[in-house]
Amino acid sequence: MTGTPHAGELPEVRFLTVAEVASLMRVSKMTVYRLVHGGELTAVRVGRSFRVPEHAVHTYLKGAFSESA
């Protein structure tokens, strides 16, 4: 599934676990949970765990980086 999605198709999204996000951002898993529960980082709940779209991590980091500059 590449390119633009056709009618009725979902775009391809890569989801990361909380542990993967924590490793990528070099923070604790608790920090990621706080960001998710605080609404600062988009996530979907799958059963009892959360999955974070990869683009949401990049968007968050771009916003955090531009605020510190």
Q: What is the pLDDT of residues 20-64, one digit of tens each?
A: 999 999 999 999 999 999 999 999 999 999 999 999 999 999 987
The pLDDT score that the predictor gives to residue 7 is: 67
**What is the pLDDT averaged over residues 16-21?**
98
Token representation of residue 15: 């989801």
Written in H, E and C, the secondary structure of 3-69 is CCCCCCCCCCCCEEEHHHHHHHHCCCHHHHHHHHHCCCCCCEEECCEEEEEHHHHHHHHHHHHHHHC
Place of tokens 């979907």: 44
